[in-house]
Structure 1
Amino acid sequence: MSVFGVDIGGSGIKGAPVDLGRGELAEERFKVLTPHPATPDAVAECVKQVVDHFGWTGPVGATFPGVVTHGMTRTAANVDKGWIDMDAAGLLSQKVGCAVTLLNDADAAGMAEMEYGAGRGRKGTVIVLTLGTGIGSAVFVDGSLLPNTELGHLELHGHDAEKKASTKAKDDEGLTWEHWAKRLDKYLAHVEMLFSPELFILGGGVSRKADKFLPLLTGIRAEIVPAALQNNAGIVGAGMAAAAVRS
């Protein structure tokens, strides 16, 4: 079954048809830059552009970088505050011209990794972290998702954790892999202290360069692996969500 997934991020909006039989993109993804300011109308227009690029008319799933409950966006850390407490699924559905299923971006990536990727078949507590403009999180216990955990906003040494340990923080501050890995290490240790996971899966675009930083992480008891689906996990998870609603 093919569905369509769109991943709305703080820096880019990307999407593609998804082959759920294989857990892969059915076509090469299409990406546009996230508008600034990332207002609801501006982002919705970009989502339409991504969907229209493929001439898609079927089911669409979309991710959002914040808390999503029943199609309503409740937070907006890395996009315009106009998203807070709005019917985002309704707006996107109206703009795209078909029903859009909306969910948290890290939850979508986590769902894909648990079904097709590095978390497949894993029991116990698994935490998927997406490292990018911020830090997204998805927590699974024996394969079941606890939605909207937003662990990137844990306070660490007086700061919002994602402001110091995200990929954006690394790039903005010109940090070396070694310096950034030390920050990431402290963050992972804090999360591990709170949740005691058996496995961390690290995703986002930086997962393509896992060999640069994973060997530098120390003192974490849990197993740490890169996301198998890398930066396509959110698109695949969005497609999974759209299919689940229609099954």
Structure 2
Amino acid sequence: MEILGIDVGGSGIKGAIVDTVKGELITERYRIPTPKPATPDAVIETIEAIINNFDWHGPVGCGFPAAVKNEIVKTASNIDHSWIGINASARIEKKTGCPTHLVNDVDAAGIAEAEFGAGKDRYGTIFMAAFGTGIGTAVFHNQQLVPNTELGHIPLNGMVAEDYAANSIRENEGLCWKTWGRRVNEYLQLIESLLWPDLIIIGGGVSKKFNEFESYINVESTVVPAESRQPCRNYWFRAGC
């Protein structure tokens, strides 16, 4: 089955048509910068532009940077706060005519890793952290997702963890890999003390640079980079995820 996968990120909104059986992109991704401010109307207009780019009329799967419950947005750390309480799927469907399903972006990425990537056939507790504009997280136990964990927002060194160790902080502050890698390690050590995962998967675009900071990570858990690193492939590998 094919769907149009859309990833709403803090800096860009990406889309591609996805083979949901193989977990592969059928087309090249199409990216539009995330509007500022990222209000519902502005983001949905951008999503509509992506749908129109592919001349798409079928189902849409949307990975969204927020806790999502029954299609309703519950949090807003990297999008406009006016999203909170909105049934985003219904709004997108009304605007585009395409049936849409919404889910937390890193939950979707984690499901892809569990199905096709670094978490395939792995049991016990798996923790995924995607380092980007913020820190998105997903938690699995014996391949079952615990949704909407949002553990990038826990306190670390007197601030919200993602304000200390997100990849955007590395870029904005010009941190070297060593300094930033040690911050990531502090975050993972805190997570380990809370969850004691068997496997930690590092996601986000920075996973392609894992070798740059791997040596600064010192936790008991096995730590590996995500394998499904193409935008949209990580997020929507099967319909109705």
Q: TM-score range by the shorter chain?
A: over 0.9
Please give the residue correspondences for 1:1-247 in structure 2 after superposition, counting only pairs within 5 Å: 1-218=1-218, 220-232=219-231, 234-240=232-238, 243-244=239-240
Give 1:231 shift: 4.3
CA offset at residue 21 of structure 1? 2.4
Gap runs ≥5 in structure 2? none
DSSP 3-state at the match of 1:172: helix
Cα distance between partner residues in 1 of 2:214 and 2:42: 37
Are the aligned partners of 1:128 and 1:200 in contact in 2 as well (CA < 8 Å)? yes
Amino acid paired to 1:74: K
SS of equivalent residue, structure 2 residue 236: helix
d(CA) in 2 for partners of 1:7 and 1:235? 10
Unaligned regions of 5+ residues in structure 1, if any? Answer: none
Give 1:82 shift: 0.5
Is 2:61–2:240's contact at 8 Å kept on the other side of the alignment? no
The CA distance in 1 between the partners of 2:64 and 2:204, in whole Å, is: 14
Residue type of the partner of 2:221?
A: A
Per the TM alignment, residue 237 of structure 1 is displaced from its structure 2 partner at its CA by 3.0
User: C-alpha distance in 1, partners of 2:211/2:28?
Assistant: 25
Instruction: Confirm or deny: 8 A CA contact 1:139 1:145 kept in the other structure.
Output: yes
Structure 2 distance, partners of 1:44, 1:131, is 24
Q: Cα distance, 1:62 vs. partner?
A: 0.2
Corresponding letter in the other structure for 1:81: H
Aligned residues: 241
AA at the equivalent of 1:221: E
Instruction: Tell me how far 1:94 sits from its aligned partner.
Output: 1.3
Q: Deviations over 1:47-92 (max 9, x none)?
A: 1111111111111100111110001001100111100111111111
> Which 4+ residue blocks in structure 1 deviate beyond 6 angstroms?
none
Higher helix share: 1
Equivalent-residue separation in structure 1 for 2:103 and 2:195 (angstroms): 23
Measured in 1, the distance between the counterparts of 2:214 and 2:95 equals: 41
User: Per-residue deviation at 1:160?
Assistant: 0.2
- Offset at 1:235? 4.5
8 Å Cα contact 1:5-1:236 kept in structure 2: no
Task: Give how far 1:236 is off.
Answer: 4.1
Q: Is the 8 A contact 1:15 1:235 kept in 2?
A: no
In structure 2, do the counterparts of structure 1 residues 101 and 235 end up closer, same or farther at CA, with 3 Å as the change threshold?
Answer: farther
| CA RMSD across the alignment | 1.1
Question: Contact 1:117/1:228 (CA < 8 Å) preserved in 2?
Answer: yes
Q: Distance in 1 between matches of 2:194 and 2:82?
A: 32
Q: Following the alignment from structure 2 to structure 1, what is the Cα–Cα distance between the partners of residues 237 and 70? A: 17
Q: In structure 1, give the amino acid aligned to 2:225.
A: P
Q: Secondary structure at the match of 1:115?
A: helix
Measure, in 1, the Cα distance between the counterparts of 2:113 and 2:237.
13
Partner Cα separation in structure 1 for residue 15 and residue 136 of structure 2:
18
User: 1:226 offset after TM fit, Å?
Assistant: 0.4
Shift of 1:216: 2.2
Distance 1:182 1:87 in 2: 39
